[in-house]
Structure 1
Amino acid sequence: MTHALSFPVPTSVGSLESYIQSVKALPMLTPEEEHDYGVRLKQDNDVEAARMLVMSHLRVVVSIARGYLGYGLPQADLIQEGNIGLMKAVKRFDPDRGVRLVSFAVHWIKAEIHEYILRNWRLVKIATTKAQRKLFFNLRSLKQSLGTLNPEEVRAMAGHLGVKPHEVVEMETRLTGQDIALEGNSADDEDSFSPIAYLVDPNAEPAVKLELEDTARRHTEGLAAALESLDARSRRIIEARWLQEDGGSTLHDLAAEYGVSAERIRQIEQKAMQKMKALIGEH
């Protein structure tokens, strides 16, 4: 059975309430319907089946997104990011595993919302590893009911999450820091300064921006060409050490992977870097 449903998208405060109400009005799928749509999507790549699976679970995204309102980010944006996670889950859904889509999708919805929060919360990249990300969200939930963590609590959380105690303290400091208004108070002394006065980008001029973009493009092309010039092992070592978002592999990790010493990996890395620098300098 096919329901003629549109895919509403929240864009403003006014439409957000309408969106939430329309999402709540969408019919839930029975286990049999969900399995049928899942099979059609998996076997025939049926777009309509995928749409039905997404539409029937939009209310789940709204419910999860509400749990992240404390970060000060727009609810509509949280919902849209969660919807992206839902669509990723639907794409990977296997109806023959005997697991309902909602159970499978929660992970993908939360993961996408987490990524959005980390990219945008106070415009600061505050968590770069999996352990730090877990620390960020655990501390955020704790701060709703606790004061400053004492040394014993800091050590316990650090041990549980696999991070250093000073990382817990640093993250707590960032979470409890106060936001500063960019614009100064109009009643302030005329000689006073607000952050907006010294946050002006000196590279905002169009000509400068074009020059910077051209330089960045040439550097990117040079890096790609330099990587391409390396042998497979050297390229793998450089990519694993320097081009990973999670902090990269250690010398010992790669030494175990290739069955050589960490010093040998360091030598290969150093030689590859020297070759790349020479090639990039030519671009």
Structure 2
Amino acid sequence: MPTSLSAPGINLGAYINNVHQIPILTPEEEKTLAHRYYDDGDVEAARLLVMSHLRFVIHIARSYSGYGLSQADLIQEGNLGLMKAVKRFDPNKGVRLVSFAVHWIKAEIHEFVIKNWRIVKVATTKAHRKLFFNLRSLKKSSNQLTLEEATAIAKDLDVTVKQVFEMESRLTSYDASFEMQDSDEDDGRYAPQLYLEDEVNPADVVEETDWEENTSAALHAAMNELDERSRDIITQRWLADQKSTLHDLAAVYNISAERVRQIEKNAMEKIKNVLTVDDVMLGG
């Protein structure tokens, strides 16, 4: 592993080539180094963790090349995020460093883009930030959005159509200050400078996401263990947007409401048993 690297701005091609010569750590090697830094404050272990993950920063930085900013600068900012991630990484959480670091790498690059692009007072809420980094790629042309296109984008990003049009307007408007202005607070706006660091612990977010994904997968497997009628009753009673009553399903299957309740109860017991087994196997 190289003992040092030049900054990416001096010779970007050579930097990328050198980074890709650095081997990726095995889970065991990563865990050992992480504990050396987390438990003992071993700075050399932290350096090795950073060096072995620089290739992931390059990969993430490439996805932000459409803003006309220097690739070297984007990588440099991403590296700062990686170092922050290593500093905050808790190996006892049970997640890989790369999963934890993605949040910090993107956060630093986001702030750099917002601060240096020609429109910097453009991401004043979470919805705006989501639109800022996705609207350009989702637009089918450089022409003004139609209502149909805006509606589709709003649905895809889980924002309102009004917010889509507002962001499009901001992306074609004049430059604005990155620093907070006197009128911002009165207008209910928040300057990008206030978003330099997210106080939410990404390890907790990643852990919660993993738990939700595992639970969703286990529930899907449990549902597949049911017969078609039981699966449909559980779906209609618990998972549908407009849930059915016992009497609704009794009419559908030409049985009594009490019989529907019994089928539902038996199906829930089967699901519970499958989820319990999966939880044990996962160490829950």
The TM-score with structure 1 as length reference comes to 0.57
1:107 and 2:103 correspond: yes
**One-letter amino acid matched to 2:6:** P
Aligned residue for 2:133, secondary structure, equals helix
Tell me: higher relative CO, structure 1 or 2? Use CA pairs within 8 A at least 6 residues apart. 2
**One-letter amino acid matched to 1:120:** N
RMSD, matched Cα = 3.3
- Structure 1 18/4 Cα, relative in aligned 2: closer, same or farther at 3 Å? closer
Match of 2:120 in 1: 124
1:33 and 2:46 correspond: no
Q: C-alpha distance in 2, partners of 1:159/1:247? A: 29
1:6 and 2:4 correspond: yes
Q: Give the drift of 1:80.
A: 0.5
**One-letter amino acid matched to 1:127:** A
- Structure 1 31/141 Cα, relative in aligned 2: closer, same or farther at 3 Å? same
Match of 1:75 in 2: 71
Query: What pairs up with 1:1-283 in 2 under 5 angstroms?
Result: 5-12=3-10, 15-143=11-139, 148-158=144-154, 164-175=160-171, 177=172, 245=191
**Contact 1:129-1:247 within 8 A present in 2 as well:** no
Q: Give the drift of 1:240.
A: 12
Aligned residue for 1:62, secondary structure, equals helix
Identical-pair percentage: 60
Q: C-alpha distance in 2, partners of 1:81/1:145? A: 30
**Contact 2:139-2:145 within 8 A present in 1 as well:** no
Q: C-alpha distance in 2, partners of 1:68/1:247? A: 20
**Contact 1:158-1:165 within 8 A present in 2 as well:** yes
Q: C-alpha distance in 1, partners of 2:136/2:189? A: 29
Alpha-carbon displacement from aligned partner over 1:173-209 (angstroms, at most 9, x marks no partner): 444x4999xxxxxxxxxxxxxxxxxxxxxxxxxxxxx
The TM-score with structure 2 as length reference comes to 0.57
- Structure 1 138/243 Cα, relative in aligned 2: closer, same or farther at 3 Å? closer
**Contact 1:54-1:87 within 8 A present in 2 as well:** yes
